[in-house]
Structure 1
Amino acid sequence: MNWYVVYTKPKWEKKLALQLQSRGINCYCPIVVQSRQWSDRIKKVEVPLFNSYVFVQLAEEDRQLVFDVPGAVRYLFWLGKPAIVRNEEIETIQNWLQVAKENKVSLTQHQIGDCIEVPTGPFAAQNAVVQDIKKTHYVLVLEGMGCVLKMKIHNQ
């Protein structure tokens, strides 16, 4: 069975994932904890890692089952076909989210446009292109996964 990407209504990621799981459909909605500030307080909230996306693992002939659940809009397509996410990529996201401490990465010897291999952390051994270098972070494009990674600079 393949992993597909379902595009959801805005702010429906967690609701859709819960409803799909209750119907026996294997799905994954990666969640991260962020600090949000209101005028009177700061609160930690759980938000989806990818806005408006939920990953579902289904057989090709069962793909229409997700539309029985409110909140599912359509599948994400790539080159005219439903986008398929490899198991390794789902596992990489899961491993990355389980890492409790931040990993130190030093890219000072690289320039924008360089193709590098991420040396440490959950994305270790992934090929990436340095897209931008800022004072506080680096922006890397993980072409194999089709995503952009922002990594903080840690002063030693």
Structure 2
Amino acid sequence: MIDQNYRWYPVYTHSRAEKKANGELNRKGIQTYLPLKKAVKQWSDRKKIVEEPLIKSYLFVYISAREYAEVLMTNGVARFIYFANRIASIPEQQIHDLKLLLATEADLELIDYDIKPGESVLIKAGPFKGIRAELVSVHNKQRIILRLQDMGYSININTSIAFIAPL
């Protein structure tokens, strides 16, 4: 059974220190989630597929309030993310949904600007089945933008408009 005092919290890391902070927190025994996406990097002599953070300078930690200080004293961690003057917490279901999205190897594109709210939807078929989100826009009936609450980001994914149903 999950301890109700433990929650997922987003933390902001120093620039390009997400993997380092993730490793340091794991060494301290703190459960983390660093969403990574595959990207092709081009050098003058070769191309290479690398894993890079989906959300730059973000990392998620599963802790209780008594572990706040330990997280902040970790190399690479800058601060907790705040919403409405409180440390933000992310619902367990949203972490699960993010893991599901990344596991599909779909072409995900992070959009870091605010998009006006739309209709709440449930994806009823396909690789994203069961995810509840907010429909932001539709492009060509094959590409939709879904908003994950409490993170301030939207994710642009490929799926058919036929796979969603209003809640």
Name the TM tier (shorter chain).
0.7 to 0.9
- Matched with 1:152 is 158
Q: Distance in 2 between matches of 1:114 and 1:87?
A: 23
Choose from 63, 67, 75 the match for 2:80: 75
122 and 80 in structure 1: CA distance in 2 versus 1, 3 angstrom threshold: same
User: 1:79-131: per-residue Cα shift (whole Å, max 9, x none)?
Assistant: 1100001111111111222225x49xxxxxxxx97524434332644132333
User: 1:2-44: per-residue Cα shift (whole Å, max 9, x none)?
Assistant: 1111100011001100110001111111111111223332210
- Matched with 1:107 is none
Q: Which moved more, 1:136-145 or 1:46-55?
A: 136-145
SS at match of 1:130: strand
How many residues in Structure 1 have an aligned counterpart in Structure 2? 145
- Matched with 2:39 is 34
Q: TM-score, normalized by length of structure 1?
A: 0.78
Choose from 143, 146, 149 the match for 1:140: 146
Gaps of 5+ in 1: 104-111
Cα contact 2:117–2:134 (8 A) shared by 1? no
Cα contact 2:18–2:57 (8 A) shared by 1? yes
- Matched with 2:164 is none
- Matched with 1:24 is 29
User: 1:125-155: per-residue Cα shift (whole Å, max 9, x none)?
Assistant: 413233363798443334476431212378x
- Matched with 2:112 is none
**Counterpart code for 2:157:** M
RMSD of aligned Cα (Å): 2.8
Choose from 55, 61, 68 the match for 1:63: 68
- Matched with 1:95 is 100
Identity rate, percent: 27
Q: Distance in 2 between matches of 1:23 and 1:5?
A: 17
Gaps of 5+ in 2: 1-5, 108-115, 161-167
Cα contact 1:129–1:143 (8 A) shared by 2? no
**Counterpart code for 1:93:** L
Q: Distance in 2 between matches of 1:80 and 1:114?
A: 25
135 and 124 in structure 1: CA distance in 2 versus 1, 3 angstrom threshold: closer
